Amino acid sequence: YALGAHGGSALFAADPGCVDYSGREGGAGMIKIPTSLLGQLLAYAVGGGAVTVFHSACYWVMATILTVEPFLANSIAAILAGLVGFLLHSRWTFGGVERQLSDRAALTRYAVVSLICYGVNSFWVWLVIHRFGGTVNQSIIPMILATPWLGFLLNRFWAFR
């Protein structure tokens, strides 16, 4: 996404790989919905990264400060991040709100992807904390470095197809 001057303010410049919320190709609106694989990958890196940080922060606070058992903390964090993630990814990363929120199949597929990613993150909690005796902080590392890429692939090529 290129930043450019539009009417004296910095907005996303028209891009043939994007549409805006009005559905216009290369749209003139401020928020662009990426349509190319690269655009969606970049959007996922930003939006998905934010959702991953949100999940990790919720998990960390619950498991370390509130002393909630790590599996339960991960479960609660996954639910919260799943809700935030669907709103973000259905509206921006993988398509427009009109198409995605009215598509129950996309919501169902997104829920399945979220459950798969939850299972993978639960595996990291078990492996790092319960199997190897590591810390909550150490269990967050694979949650940040591995799980999001699985989520991107499943969301891009299946949930929001």
Under a CB-based contact definition with an 8 Å cutoff, are residues 64 and 56 in contact? no
* Position 55 pLDDT exceeds 90: yes
Mean predicted lDDT score pLDDT of the chain = 81
pLDDT one-digit tens code per residue, 64-78: 999 999 999 999 999
- CA nearest 106: which of 35, 34, 161, 36? 161
Buried b (16+ CB within 10 A) or exposed e, 108-123: ebbeebbeebbeebee
Overall average pLDDT of the 103-114 stretch: 88
Q: Is the overall model pTM greater than 0.85, yes or no?
A: no
13-27, 106-120, 133-147 — which is least confidently predicted? 13-27
The residue ranking higher by pLDDT, 47 or 59, is 59
